[in-house]
Structure 1
């Protein structure tokens, strides 16, 4: 079963602020793109300077990190001859350096990307990466997908200090990619499948699908999948799904004005009553009380800061 049709493209280019001068780094854009076979690439939504014709390539003034979690395509730059890109590859674009990349026309790909710049990144990336070899074969990694998801959430909200939060996430992500690439420790074929399963669960948290569907999508029998998943994560697939749902519920209760009914519907609970029962059984408090407590603490913090 393929869940990719449920994924929504999200492309966000961001304003910079005084944080750039304080932290010596800034993030210009972040996004997720699911490119279907025969789709035009890149899709609409990128401002002038960031869109390009893959046949002609382009030069930009910032670093960009692109991570492919599905499909395949190709990459080339002025310093790197054309190379095939497959699922689980990340590649780095350097400022001021001509490059081009695109998914295979008959296959497509799913990509995360982040565009960033600053003195810190100049020094770090020129020490730990090579212009002749900007591709990292890191495999599917749930932690990296989680970092990209956090950046997308942060870019949507654009709360005070969001640039510093984004920069911190990127620094962590670069360290993780460097470590995996250095040690080539993205694991056995089974471990890769478990990482893929974790990514599928995370990316389709709003959709109705079961552990059996996941097993099918990664070409494993359900009994093998369940056993391997429990060995890898310490809990059964269903429990893992519920943990992620609980985390997402807390996020929606604390950071949005969505009603309890709407949150229940969004996360595919059969009713608002069952949703409230589930939340209370996991946290000891009902969803409205949780939201009020968050609001109370938020107001207290605001008073204390004046």
Structure 2
């Protein structure tokens, strides 16, 4: 069995330390090699939080009295005082990384990131999680200068990345091959060019209706609305920081007709381009 771990506090019952906003007590990596089964039982839990990430295989976790087989790409969170039971079985090839942590802002940081309660959170397979916890283990083992605040920063990053991935699980159903993310990048790079959504969808070998539907589910906007928002934001930047006139700005963001640009800008922003320039420059002149 691989049992690679590093410790700040070594007490098996955990530690409740409020000196830091978040504090990593220990971190580790479990992987069965020949041992058929390994169990952890803590009827009264620990004083700190525990976050486990199933990198490969599966593990049996008991949550609120029910046993769940949790597979690759999931996080499991236990709060202080929660009864803990989990079981590794060799046949399931489990490969798990874990962190015990505490701190005066731990509950707030977890809540803000969407970890509202103890339970199972789907994130998908993410190599970043493995790397972050490996970094924590190494810092806690070697204990070089400033190792503790660095380890704690890794923990904050882990929480935020976890929140990003499990909150995007719903989006993934609408972008299973990554074509929406590619479109977003393309639109940001090519907003100044004439972009026809139908032609763009055709290049992806999908129907324009399906592309528009998936894009809106993912971003909350249609492709055309999204492109227009990019253009209007770029126009605002140029109106504030450049000496370009409306005609030059219109052309630089993809509109051949400056009158059409001015009309769209006023409909979107609420004032004409020239009025916006006057207002924004006046505002920053006195701040």
Which TM-score applies when normalising by structure 1?
Answer: 0.49
Q: Deviation of residue 58 (structure 1)?
A: 4.6
Partner of 2:24: 27
Contact 2:7 2:25 in 1 (8 A): yes
Q: Deviation of residue 34 (structure 1)?
A: 0.8
The CA distance in 2 between the partners of 1:126 and 1:14, in whole Å, is 24
The CA distance in 2 between the partners of 1:166 and 1:75, in whole Å, is 26
Contact 1:58 1:100 in 2 (8 A): no
Say if 1:39 and 1:28 are closer, same or farther in 2 by CA, change over 3 A.
farther
Partner of 2:6: 12
Say if 1:129 and 1:21 are closer, same or farther in 2 by CA, change over 3 A.
closer
Q: Alpha-carbon deviations, 1:159-183, whole Å to 9, x = none? A: 2322211111111110111111011
Say if 1:111 and 1:58 are closer, same or farther in 2 by CA, change over 3 A.
farther
1:41 partner SS = strand
The CA distance in 1 between the partners of 2:51 and 2:172, in whole Å, is 19
2:155 partner SS = helix
The CA distance in 1 between the partners of 2:58 and 2:176, in whole Å, is 18
1:119 partner SS = coil
Count of matched residue positions in the alignment of Structure 1 and Structure 2? 169
1:59 partner SS = coil
Partner of 2:57: 71
- 1:61-210 aligned within 5 A: 61-78=47-64, 81-127=66-112, 128-131=114-117, 134-184=119-169
Contact 2:36 2:89 in 1 (8 A): no
The CA distance in 1 between the partners of 2:172 and 2:103, in whole Å, is 29
Q: Alpha-carbon deviations, 1:104-138, whole Å to 9, x = none? A: 3532411111100011112222452233x621111
Contact 2:27 2:136 in 1 (8 A): yes
The CA distance in 1 between the partners of 2:142 and 2:23, in whole Å, is 16
Say if 1:40 and 1:108 are closer, same or farther in 2 by CA, change over 3 A.
same
Q: Deviation of residue 83 (structure 1)?
A: 1.8
Question: What 5-or-longer segments of structure 2 have no aligned partner?
Answer: 11-16, 179-287
Q: Deviation of residue 186 (structure 1)?
A: 6.4
Contact 1:13 1:30 in 2 (8 A): yes
The CA distance in 1 between the partners of 2:127 and 2:18, in whole Å, is 32
Question: What 5-or-longer segments of structure 1 have no aligned partner?
Answer: 1-6, 43-51, 192-306
The CA distance in 1 between the partners of 2:34 and 2:92, in whole Å, is 5
Which TM-score applies when normalising by structure 2?
Answer: 0.52
Say if 1:116 and 1:37 are closer, same or farther in 2 by CA, change over 3 A.
same
